[in-house]
Chains A and B, each alone.
Chain A
Amino acid sequence: MKQFQAEIIDNRAIAQSWRELILSWDELAWAPEPGQFLTLRVSPYSDPLLRRPFAFSDFASTINEAPRASIIYQIRGNGTRLLSELSVGSKINAIGPLGKGFPLPKADEESVLAGGGIGLGPLLYLARTLAVAGRRCILVLGVRSASLLPLIKLPAGAVVCTDDGSSGFRGTPVDWISRNVSGKAHIYGCGPAPMLAGLSRLAGEKGWQASLSAEQWMACGVGACMGCALPKSDGAGYLRACADGPVFDSAEIDWEAAK
């Protein structure tokens, strides 16, 4: 975990209200795990106050070049709106890599990556990492409607689901997976809480492993403030999205209560 100034290399629209931010920085050439995140200070002023967490959607580093990291984000409030207004060449304060990432699948597991909306981000990086490791995967992206699909290249074989049927499969990633995946799968999920609850239920029924990335409001992002609590499945308290996660084995969290 380091705090550093990153330079904005690109900050462009990729869908209705979705953007991709590309950052680069000097010297620190660590590679984050897929599922890990960084926090950005979107404004030097006190409003909005808190840093914003974003999962890596890509990362590349070579010996001769500065590292380049991507995040994709959706403009949802003041913080992300300010982020969208930052120009190429400007600097932003970052802390990362933070949290625990996705575990790799076992040799006999088929990797199924389910992204709901902007939850696609960390799964793009996971898909790329799996490809480099010579592992196949299926990426299933769910959005409300075709007009919301991002203008980015999805991994080969990716499945698009829309709630209204305007593109690809009509239904959610959970619906698609329950009908089309058989055998031994490892589910990787990131997206809205109801989708994570659905993936957790499905994995439980099928006896699959599921690694789900949770979203929760955070203050510190490093495990100190206990703000980003998620209810444990055994009812014995809470885990921290920032330091115990954001990726959890689905059996650890009560996803229904977390909705």
Chain B
Amino acid sequence: MKPNLSVRVGSLVLANPVGLASGTFGYGSEYESLVDVDSIGALYTKAVTIEARPGNRPPRIVETPSGMLNSIGLANPGIDAFLADKLPELRRRRCAVIVNVAGSTEEEYLEVVRRIEEAAGARSRSDTGVDGYEINVSCPNVCHGGLAFGTDPVQIERLTRSLRGITERALIVKLTPNVADIGPIAAAAEAGGADAVSCINTLVGMVIDVDACRPSLAMGTGGLSGPAVRPVGVACCYKASRAVKIPIIGLGGISCAQDALQYLLAGAKAVQVGTGTFVDPSCASTVLAGIEAWMEKRGVQRVEDIGGLLS
């Protein structure tokens, strides 16, 4: 019997547990000719903010041992251009589309979601182009908002509750690993009414060019991603899943099915592939096929049961 790969996130049912992480897949069209996007469980868009943001000064990227640092700075065309240019493309998607939302103030997050709610229309329709939101309270590369929200449980709960009040779509809060204990942060999102939390966003990191005696990134620090961060992400999912009842979506350094299975065993109900797509655009498809094969081999019926197998 084929295993059941579907995963429930609030009122949303994902066809399978594998997603494409925000910031690594644009708005879906960039990889069109290389990836069968619709076979993936969910597409998490590049972050959307109220105003267009040009992003940070380059260099924005530097490679690190088994990873990379980025300091993109939430470069995006803003909500108006998103609604005009990106939403029509997203309506054609057959996979779930989760819009990643960022802002400098609580009102900015609310305004982005409000504008999308107005444009996308009733959630019950199948062609709205938006199945949920991932609230980015964990970007390490912007001066205001981002990480400042993400490390304070009081602000997280308040922001989540405000957002819960204006949308019935799936509401996922993306958490940072740059905290002493992720448990209370996840619990705050749950208390505010989140349907799920995703973790982890990138870890703050720095590389210094010793010939030039200056940081390799123009902004000094950036966010570390890739296989190097995977043990941190797995531990965060493990802790978060024991602090809340809502589903955890795990990400950080997943490049093969074995990596994804570590997250699922740690308590995540779904996963996202991010930097792994840069290395191999078919990574998410390979991960999905590998999870299914692992379940078949072991006779695991439902992907949502994998977490219970951890001894």
A→B interface (CB under 8 Å): 1-3, 41, 46-51, 93, 95, 216-231, 236-238, 243, 258
A221 to B279, alpha carbons, bound, how many Å? Answer: 10
A236 to B77, alpha carbons, bound, how many Å? Answer: 12
Q: Closest residue of chain A to B73, judged by CB? A: A226
A252 to B281, alpha carbons, bound, how many Å? Answer: 30
- Cβ of B54 and Cβ of A237 under 8 Å apart? yes
A237 to B56, alpha carbons, bound, how many Å? Answer: 9
Known contacts A95-B281, A224-B30; decide if A238 and B54 are in contact (CB<8 Å): yes
Q: Which of A93, A217, A222, A228 contacts B280 (CB 8 A)?
A: A93
Pairs A–B under 8 Å by Cβ, sample size 26: A3-B34, A41-B279, A46-B226, A46-B228, A49-B226, A49-B279, A50-B68, A50-B279, A51-B278, A217-B62, A218-B61, A219-B70, A219-B278, A222-B34, A224-B24, A224-B26, A225-B23, A225-B72, A226-B75, A228-B60, A229-B60, A230-B58, A236-B54, A237-B55, A238-B54, A258-B58
Q: Which of B22-78 contact A (CB under 8 A)?
A: 23-26, 30-31, 33-34, 46, 54-63, 65-68, 70, 72, 75
- Cβ of B58 and Cβ of A229 under 8 Å apart? yes
Which residues on B sit within 8 Å (CB–CB) of A1? 33-34
Which residues on B sit within 8 Å (CB–CB) of A46? 66, 226-228, 255, 279
- Cβ of B30 and Cβ of A49 under 8 Å apart? no
> Interface SS of chain B: helix, strand, loop or mixed?
loop
Which residues on B sit within 8 Å (CB–CB) of A41? 279-280
Please classify how large the interface on chain B is, using the bins under 10, 10 to 19, 20 to 34, 35 or more.
35 or more
Which residues on B sit within 8 Å (CB–CB) of A228? 58, 60-61
> Interface SS of chain A: helix, strand, loop or mixed?
loop
- Cβ of A227 and Cβ of B24 under 8 Å apart? no
Q: Closest residue of chain A to B56, judged by CB? A: A229
Max chain B Cβ within 10 angstroms of own Cβ: one of A3, A41, A224, A238? A224
B201 within 8 A of A: no
B277 within 8 A of A: yes
- Cβ of A2 and Cβ of B278 under 8 Å apart? no
A231 to B60, alpha carbons, bound, how many Å? Answer: 12
- Cβ of B34 and Cβ of A225 under 8 Å apart? no
